[in-house]
Every structure is written in C-alpha cells, then in structure tokens.
Structure 1
Amino acid sequence: MSIATTSTQPAGARKAVIFCCDSRYLPYTAHAAAQIAALHPHRDFDICLCHGECPLTLPESLASLGLRQIRVDVDGRFEGLRLDPGANHDVYLRLALPEALRADYDRILYLDGDIFVQGGDFSRLLGVDLGAHPVAAVRDNIQWRTPERRPVQFARLGLPGTRYFNAGVVLMDTARCADMDLLGRCVDLGRREAARMIRHDQNLFNAVLQGDWAELSPTWNWQYSWAARLLAEMRTPNVVHFIGGTKPWRDTVGDIPPRYLRAMSAFLECHFPELPPPAVAASPMRPCSPRMVKMLLKHLVSARAMCAYLDRFEGDFSVIG
C-alpha cells in the first residue's frame, strides 16, 4: 500500500509545522496556525494543514497566512486499527507524515489543533539536536509528578514501564522515522493488538519506541490539567494543550481563564462567523468555589514533584536523550 499526497502549493522549505485536522476541527486548528504565523512573519519553515479524504476549505480572510494544504491518501494502510466510536482512520494520520512527506521535509513538528500558542521560536525548535532518536516530545502529564508511573496501555500489552510521551506535539526526523519503518511497526502492532489497544496513535508510538525518543521541555506541550493550570499562568509556556473535554471553544463550567476564551471568540467571529458562539460559562470559576479549592490543594500536594520535573530543563531548547 502506497501513500500519495496532493497539495495546494509546493513545499517552500525543508522543515514544517504540520497540523492534521478535519473540517470540524478546522476553525480551532486555523487559530493555532495563525498564532504561529504571527510569531514568525518571515519564517523559514512551512505551516501545513493535512487532511484525509474530506477536503478543507479555508476562508479567504486567512489566505495571507500562506498555509500549505496537503491531502494524504494512505490507501487503506490503517485498516484493522482500533477506532473510538464515531472516529475514522484519519485519527492515525500523523503516523504517516514522515513517510508521506520525507521528500519535502527533513523535520516536521506535528501539533494537535486544541492548543493555544503563546510564544516560542519554532524555527529553532525544528532544528534541535535529537541525537540518534527519531522523534522528540514532551512526557505525558501522568509522568510529570510520578516519572516511574507505568502507563495503562503498557500494562495492557505486558510492556515494562518507561518514558511515555504525549503525542499532541511531536518533532519528527523524517529520515530516521522512515529508515526504522516507524509507520509499518506501529500499524503492525495496532492490528495485532487491536483488542487490547486503547485510544489511538499515541499508544502505538510509545509502545513501538519504548523510550527511544528525545524529551522536550514541557513549555512546548503544557498539558492543561488540575495539577498544572496555575503554574501555566506563572511559567507562561509556549504551547498550552487543552487535553481534556474542556476547550477554549467549549467550557461550560468556567475552568479556563477568560483570556483564552476571548482570543478564540474573536478569531472565530472574524474568520468563521457562520459558526455559533463558543459554548462557555457566563463567568469564570470563583476563587471560593469548591472546584478552585480542589485545584489549589492539588497544586499544593504536587508542588515539590512539579518543581523537580521542571528543574530538569535549563531552557526552552533543552533536550534530554
């Protein structure tokens, strides 16, 4: 089975920031892409939107961003892999990026669409030294405070505990990924263990690599959780990743600080006015609410372990092999 690509324009550089999304997630992904474009008006990398069978239609108001749209046709490569209810095989598309785009790019930074970009030199990140590793990423937040914690999926597969990364932000060396047949090995494992798999490609990446990846600072994938939300306001990470069901366009309980909601609302109103307004609470969480008290206690209990984790990184571009 071969992988074919078609695009709206040729590659303009040898490195790229790439999002994979469908039409449902396009407005929110476009917001993140626009944030990166604003940070790098004279960038030396491409910003790409990849999709599967269903095409994406960007509004004319975003044409100035110069986003490259790429259709990736995997020719049934993901048949037999586990799917959550309502999902299609495009949820595995990021697995195919190194093989599909190796001729265009030496480095790819894959990003999920449910992120908020606050800063960072993405060009420099694309060039960090990965050593002999095929990818670099940030630990999943289940291991931020308990680094020896064994992921549930590893236990289900009978694998030993080791470092486990969140696949919402993955820096890929396309040649190394292709040379080690990372895609083929992930697909083989996913089919063989479909009955025991949970979720999608994040577990396949980690089960195949078994710690063979370079570790990035959490500033590039700050996973928004009860134990790290307030620290995010103090550390100002480059990329905030809304990993749960609460998003800047869907927050009915007031968990997310208003500045995220305002920025998303303004973007959607400008570029996607046909969409209904974001479903958000009338007011943010109150300081005396039980939810706030719970969050403060969680931060207090985990403070020492969080400091130990954060202190491992000297700066934004520290890489731990």
Structure 2
Amino acid sequence: MTTFTPVAPETAPASGTALTGKRRIAFASFVDENYLPGFLVLLRSLALSNPGVCEDFVVLHDDLKPSSIARIRALHPRIVLRRVDAEHYDSYVKGDQDNYLVRKAYFILDIFRLRDYDTVITLDTDMVVLGDLGELLQLREGLAAVPQFFYGQHKLNSGLLVIQREYLSDAFCAKIDQVGRSGSYELDKHDQGILNAVLDGDFVRLDARYNFVKRRLSGDLPVPDDTAILHFTGRHKPWQGGEAGYALAEDRWREFEMGDAEFHAAYLSKGNLHHDLLVHYGTPHVRRTGDVEAARKVAAGHIAAGEYQAAVDLLGSVRIPVDEAWPHEVLGHALMSVSRHEEAKTQLLLATAAPNRAATAYARLAQMAWVHGDNAEALKYATA
C-alpha cells in the first residue's frame, strides 16, 4: 500500500469536505507574473461558463507579488497557494537550461505532489473556458487528457489533465523524476514530454473540445460552438497582442477581459449560482451599487446556508423600496431567524402587498405568532 506524505499548503483547503464525505476535487494551474493576465481571464471564464461550480483552485507559484495574489483571491473564494519546489527540477535534463521559461515549464509537475484531493484538473494559464465542464468533474478513473493535435492518439497535450488519486502518489512522482533526470524524453516538449514518456500512451482520451488548440483555427476560422476549453498554444498570447490569423479565437478570449464591476454583474445575471461564488462576487457588487435585487439574491444564498445574520447585514445595508415585496420577504425571513421578531413582522407585512409573495409572508407571520403563543393571530395569518 502506497504511503502518501502530505505537502503542507500555504493556505489549507476547506476542511468540511473530510467531514461530509464529499469527493475532494480541485482545479490547478502554475502561475507567474508573466502569465497572470491569462490566469485572471481563465478564472473569470471558469466562473461565467460554469456558474454552479466552485472547487478549490490550487495556484502553484514560485514568486507571485502580494498584489498579484490579492487580484487572484478577488476572483475566487477558494484559492489554495502552494509554492513549488523549483530547485527540485534543476536536476532534470533540459533542452535549454538557461531559458527561464523552459525551467518554469516543469513546475506544473509539482501537482503530482498534492495529497489533499481525489481528482485534480490542471489548466494552462493560456486557456479560456467556454463551456460546461461537468463531464470532467465526473471522471473517476485514470489520467485523462486530449491527444496532441499534430501527433495522433498516442501522445497527450498536457494543457489540460484530469488526474485521479492513484497518480497523486510518491510512486508516480518517482517515475517522473527518473525520466526527467535521465533525459529519456522529448526535451523540447518539457513537462509534456516527460508525461508522455512515463505514460507511453496509457491515458484516458478526451474529446478535443476540452483542449481545443488555437492551431486548429489558423486562417481566422471561428471557434466551434461546442468548444469547452480554448487553448492559446504558441508564443503569441492574447494579452501580449496575439497573433495574425486568429482574430476570431482571440475575440472569445477578450470576452472575459473585464473589470470587477462588469464581471460581478455578469456573474449575477447567470442562473444556478454556487453559494460561495454568489457571496464572493455579489457582496462587493451590492456594496458598490446598492442593487436591491442583487442584495436579495445574495441574502437568499446566505439564508440557504444558514447564515442568517449575514443576510440581515447585507439587506439592511440597502434601501428597499416599499413596493419591492420580495426583498422585504427575504429580509423578514432573515430577521425572524435571528429572533428580531418585531422588525421581521414589519418586513413581512410589507411583503404581503404583492400577491406572488403574500402566501410565504403570511406563513412566516403565522409561524412567529404561534411561537409567541398567540394562536388567534397565527390562525388569522395562516388563513389570510
């Protein structure tokens, strides 16, 4: 039986997963200052394309600035920072030892040192998520990837990997080290070359739409509608000016190059929102705009998670028009839940003015009356 030795993270992942038995899944990328603009776009695209998904996002890094880390954290509530062991890869045989980009290309291999998760999905920072990733989140076996575009089915493209726990092991790391130190791999393919040498074709093949390389679109071809992840391989990145012949692809990337205000509003306009993302993006949006409808959504999310005081604080911070019944109802529910019954009664009575909210508001009023032992008033509200 393999012994797993945990690597202490700089920021620990949420511990609740161990208690609930929920499968532990994480996304992961290696990020440095040069590729930070791409990573910020990647985070926005992941949230907007998969608004109901919020897993830990492991950020491997060698020397990010505090200001860069703050920008990353602003875009995701479950960032897990891990500093790579850069010197570990100095012993690997490489095609160009002095090229700093070549050296950093190997750092993503640190992902195999994680011991905290059942599944890890790696994403290169020059990717943009355009579609649903539910199929990837449901994978349970093997190491999955898209085959390389130019080299047939035997070799994988390492831009996206779906790695199961069996590969997050000391034994697999030892195989990586052996190949890296011996140089028995395609040196110009860096981390990808090592993985292909270790796996020798033994990986789960994913459809190309999960790692759709831009080279498929040469000549300004449009991005296919079913593309889930678009990968800007090559030297010229969209945030560095891009490359001639790929304008339509780069337009898709720029859809997610936006400021916080635009991004928060875009996320809140989606359906099926994850609680953690709703709160993370919705709270600053409400503080910035005073948007009552957004405040109602975020407060309802707090209530669903049992965070009643947070709901009271947020909705209490905005001015709710008298005739906006739904926010009054939600605030009344939150106030009732923290035993501020008189204030709750006022809010719920305001909500009864709207036929589509009246039934729920009267039900809560009846419940409060019954709690206070006033059966006559409880009956009046219950039958209203």
Would you call these one fold, judging by a TM-score over 0.5? yes
C-alpha spacing 1:174/1:231, structure 2 compared with 1 (3 Å): farther
Match of 2:244 among 243, 253, 267: 253
> Which amino acid in the other structure matches residue 120 of structure 1?
D
The whole-number CA distance in structure 1 between the counterparts of 2:40 and 2:78 is: 9
> 2:50, 2:131 within 8 Å by CA — same for their partners in 1?
no
> 1:98, 1:174 within 8 Å by CA — same for their partners in 2?
no
The whole-number CA distance in structure 2 between the counterparts of 1:118 and 1:269 is: 21
Describe the SS at the equivalent of 1:77. helix
The whole-number CA distance in structure 2 between the counterparts of 1:267 and 1:142 is: 36
> Which amino acid in the other structure matches residue 219 of structure 1?
R
Q: CA deviation at 1:8?
A: 3.2
Describe the SS at the equivalent of 1:200. helix
C-alpha spacing 1:191/1:232, structure 2 compared with 1 (3 Å): farther
Match of 1:7 among 10, 23, 26: 10
Moved over 3 A (4+): 2-5, 39-42, 53-56, 58-62, 226-232, 264-271
> 1:32, 1:116 within 8 Å by CA — same for their partners in 2?
yes
> 2:220, 2:246 within 8 Å by CA — same for their partners in 1?
no
Alignment partner of 1:175 is 2:178: no
> Which amino acid in the other structure matches residue 263 of structure 1?
E
Q: Which residue of 1 aligns with 2:37?
A: 27
C-alpha spacing 1:37/1:9, structure 2 compared with 1 (3 Å): farther
Q: Which residue of 2 aligns with 1:109?
A: 121
Q: Which residue of 1 aligns with 2:106?
A: 92
The whole-number CA distance in structure 1 between the counterparts of 2:175 and 2:183 is: 12
Q: CA deviation at 1:166?
A: 0.3
Alignment partner of 1:125 is 2:115: no
The whole-number CA distance in structure 1 between the counterparts of 2:78 and 2:127 is: 17
TM-score, normalized by length of structure 2?
Answer: 0.56
> 2:32, 2:63 within 8 Å by CA — same for their partners in 1?
no
Q: How does 1:40-189 map to 2 (within 5 A)?
A: 40-43=50-53, 45-55=55-65, 57-59=68-70, 63=74, 65-74=76-85, 76-81=87-92, 82=94, 84=96, 85-87=99-101, 89-99=103-113, 101-102=114-115, 104-122=116-134, 124-130=135-141, 133=142, 135-143=143-151, 147=152, 163-178=154-169, 181-189=171-179
Q: CA deviation at 1:17?
A: 0.9
What is the alpha-carbon root mean square deviation over aligned residues? 3.2
Q: Which has the higher helix share?
A: 2
C-alpha spacing 1:53/1:222, structure 2 compared with 1 (3 Å): same
Alignment partner of 1:211 is 2:211: no
> 2:45, 2:256 within 8 Å by CA — same for their partners in 1?
no
> Which amino acid in the other structure matches residue 218 of structure 1?
A
Over the matched positions of the two proteins, sequence identity in percent amounts to: 24
Describe the SS at the equivalent of 1:98. helix
> Which amino acid in the other structure matches residue 164 of structure 1?
K
> 2:184, 2:197 within 8 Å by CA — same for their partners in 1?
no
> Which amino acid in the other structure matches residue 253 of structure 1?
A
Q: Which has the higher strand share?
A: 1
> Which amino acid in the other structure matches residue 260 of structure 1?
R
Q: CA deviation at 1:42?
A: 4.0
Q: CA deviation at 1:230?
A: 6.6
Unaligned runs of 5+ in 2: 18-23, 264-384
> 1:16, 1:48 within 8 Å by CA — same for their partners in 2?
yes
- The size of the alignment, in residue pairs, is 246
The whole-number CA distance in structure 2 between the counterparts of 1:55 and 1:129 is: 36
Q: CA deviation at 1:224?
A: 1.0
Q: CA deviation at 1:53?
A: 4.3
TM-score, normalized by length of structure 1?
Answer: 0.66
> Which amino acid in the other structure matches residue 138 of structure 2?
G
The whole-number CA distance in structure 2 between the counterparts of 1:19 and 1:65 is: 13
The whole-number CA distance in structure 2 between the counterparts of 1:26 and 1:172 is: 24
The whole-number CA distance in structure 1 between the counterparts of 2:43 and 2:185 is: 36
The whole-number CA distance in structure 2 between the counterparts of 1:254 and 1:269 is: 32
